[in-house]
Chains A and B, each alone.
Chain A
Amino acid sequence: MIRMIVHRLLIGVFVMWGAASLIFLVVRAAPGDPATVLLGPDATRSQLDQLHASLGLDRPLGAQYLSYLGDVCRLDFGESHWLGRPAMGAVLDRLPATIDLTVTATVIAVIVGLTLGMLAGARPGGLLDRVVSACTIALQSFPTFWIGIMLVLVFALTLRLLPSSGVGSPQHLVLPAVTLSFPFVAIIARLTRTSLAETMRESYIQTARSKGLTERQVLFGHALRNSLIPVVTVVGVQVGALVGGAVIVENVFAWPGLGSLVVEAVANRDYTVVQGATLLIAGIVVVLNLMADLLVAQLDPRIRTGAV
């Protein structure tokens, strides 16, 4: 168990380095000069040169890369010239909103998704299964922004039940979290259903049944626990994806999250913020995946004891 954690942490460090390097390459390969973005079209040559020097962009790429890695190791993510403040400060400012949104969407998705998946998977092929399958595919199939804007029109404009955008109160969280959870609900529901249906065919379930346990006892006592294993792994991965991947929802609801910060920073060629935010997101993803693995190990004794 300890070995596994250490191993995973080592991989995590590697992943952070890889992610940092990848994004370093992508933003620098992109056309567009940060100094031009900052100073606009009217800047003089000397103004540009001066800014290049102060941004460190006049040095060769390799030197920039090395000093950037060195700074990151010292947890120094640099100044954002665009925002006029430390890059990590700007990134951390966005973190609470991202966490609020991600956690709420995940809670909705897990509750609704598990319920739907269990309803469907308990009797595969039944009417309920078909209805749930159809619903989950439909949930996944409309563009997120379309659903978001429609929810705004219905609940904020027509019914005046909820605020249309922004942050500040739990009510502000409802629409973005629900919108964000839609595809997530579908993923969890489908996975739970498949996994449960598979588990229900296992021999120990047959044994349990033949012991005379009721279908309900079989389901909750035996099947569910095992069928949750793949669900936990996927939730881990998906939550990670939500941390930075909620860009569209953030846009529709003026939600100040990490994803939109990265997108703005890329547009402004604000390298330090892109790097800082990316590393933070990668770090969160690594930790979440690790947590999911630990949870799976708890659920599945074979993994815990190292049998697999």
Chain B
Amino acid sequence: MAGITVAVEKPATTPRRARRPLLSRVPALVVGCYLLVAVVGPMVIHYDPVHTSLEDRLLAPGSQVSGGGTAWLGTDGLGRDLLAQIVYGARTAVLIGVSTVALSCLVGVLLGAVAGYFRGAADAVLARIFDVLLAFPAILLAIVIAGAFERSVLLVVVALSATGWITFARVTRGIALSVRERPWVDAARVLGVPGRTILARHVLPFTAGPVVALATLEFALVVLAEAGLSFLGIGLPPSTVSWGQTIANGKEYLETQWWISTLPGIALSLLIVNVGILGDQLTARYGRGRTD
């Protein structure tokens, strides 16, 4: 998560999109599909996480359930449909991923920009906060926070954001540092435009590209980290449907009822691979101002 330093060139302006091979659009397409499933899926497939059907527990993919339907992806230890869990889990993943990234991003960009632009005391304080937080392995801090307090989605978001914002702050700070020396910023300063306005109008826009690229990568890490927390049995309340919870619930059945853990694992993995590639593409386009 850490250690990303960005040397900003001017944002790429030449449209290259027309010449990009079709294959490179696949990640964006797949991520789009996931978002679609996350938003629309719950409206199409009905799933009640509270409802259990013990008659149908541990059914293999494609089996008939007692209610007459087919469990296309099998059922879990409480007879709940896995397909529905994956669909609803997508929503939770997107919700947690987006909220965590949004929170990290907001805090990180704000602090980073302020520190980078105004420098001085703010910068020094921020640098020390980085140092302190980086002395903790990110996942350990998340585990300590998530394990210590009452379970909720909000807690997981906060626990994962506790270190997540650092990367954003570092990147933004780097950009702000270099942008503040540009002539047009100097010009604005000379004209007496207040620092806050310069920051908002002339500095922050330059952070957008790299931050978006970073956000995609963070999103992947957050989704993965939630699975880790669920494995340790901390974080989300039992009534929440998430991939992490489903994967963790199936960990004891990996040998015999492999589908419980593996199918949501694949769903998660596929999303992360594509988000990762998308993030790389974005980084390549905006983050470092170069192409692959």
Contact = CB atoms under 8 A, between A and B. Distances in A.
A contacting B, Cβ–Cβ less than 8 Å = yes
Interface of A: 11, 14-16, 18-19, 22-23, 26-27, 29-32, 124-125, 133-134, 137-138, 140-146, 149-150, 153, 157, 230, 233-234, 237-238, 240-245, 247-248, 251, 259, 262-263, 266-267, 274, 278, 281-282, 285-286, 289
B149 A248 contact: no
B292 A125 contact: yes
A32 B150 CA distance: 10
Nearest to A137: B276
B136 interface: yes
A244 B137 contact: yes
Contacts of B140: 244-245, 247, 259, 262-263, 281
B231 interface: yes
Contact of B292 (A124, A149, A248): A124
A261 to B, nearest CB: 11
Given A23-B144, A29-B148, A157-B255, 16 more contacts: A14-B132, A19-B132, A19-B136, A30-B149, A142-B268, A142-B269, A143-B227, A143-B247, A230-B5, A234-B3, A243-B137, A248-B228, A267-B147, A274-B144, A285-B134, A285-B135
Contacts of B269: 138, 141-142
Given A14-B131, A140-B272, A145 B137 contact: no
B145 A26 contact: yes
Contacts of A251: 231-232
8 contacts: A26-B148, A30-B148, A143-B244, A145-B248, A146-B247, A247-B140, A278-B136, A281-B140
Contact of A149 (B129, B147, B149, B251): B251
B138 A138 contact: no
Contact of A245 (B138, B231, B292): B138
Closest 9 CB pairs of A and B: A245-B137, A18-B132, A30-B148, A141-B272, A282-B135, A241-B137, A143-B227, A244-B137, A234-B3
Nearest to B127: A11
Contact of B261 (A15, A146, A262): A146
B46 interface: no
Contacts of A137: 272-273, 276-277
Nearest to B252: A149
Interface in B114-160: 128-129, 131-140, 143-145, 147-150
Given A15-B132, A23-B144, A285-B134, A31 B139 contact: no
A14 B148 contact: no
Given A247-B143, A259-B140, A285-B135, A153 B268 contact: no
A241 B147 CA distance: 19
A137 B128 CA distance: 32
B265 A143 contact: yes
Given A138-B273, A248-B232, A31 B143 contact: no
Contacts of A230: 3, 5
A60 B268 CA distance: 47
Contact of A14 (B128, B139, B255, B292): B128
A247 B139 contact: yes
Contacts of A242: 137
A149 B253 CA distance: 10
B220 interface: yes
Given A143-B268, A251-B232, A266-B144, A153 B254 contact: yes
Given A14-B128, A27-B148, A143-B247, A153 B137 contact: no
B224 interface: yes
B2 interface: yes
A22 B129 CA distance: 11
Contacts of B148: 26-27, 29-32, 266
B125 to A, nearest CB: 11
Contacts of B276: 137, 140-141
Contacts of B248: 145
Contact of A282 (B3, B5, B136): B136
A289 B265 CA distance: 34
Contacts of B5: 230
B92 to A, nearest CB: 15
Nearest to B291: A125
B88 to A, nearest CB: 18
B273 A141 contact: yes
A144 B251 CA distance: 12
Interface string B71-89: 0000000000000000000
Question: Which interface residue of B135, B138, B265, B292 has the most chain A CB atoms within 10 A?
Answer: B135
A146 B265 contact: yes
Contacts of B139: 241, 245, 247-248
Contact of A145 (B149, B150, B228): B228
Contacts of A146: 247, 251, 254, 261-262, 265
A244 B273 contact: no
B137 A18 contact: no
Contacts of A262: 140, 144
Question: Which interface residue of A32, A124, A262 has the most chain B CB atoms within 10 A?
Answer: A262
B107 to A, nearest CB: 16
Nearest to A23: B144
B137 A281 contact: yes
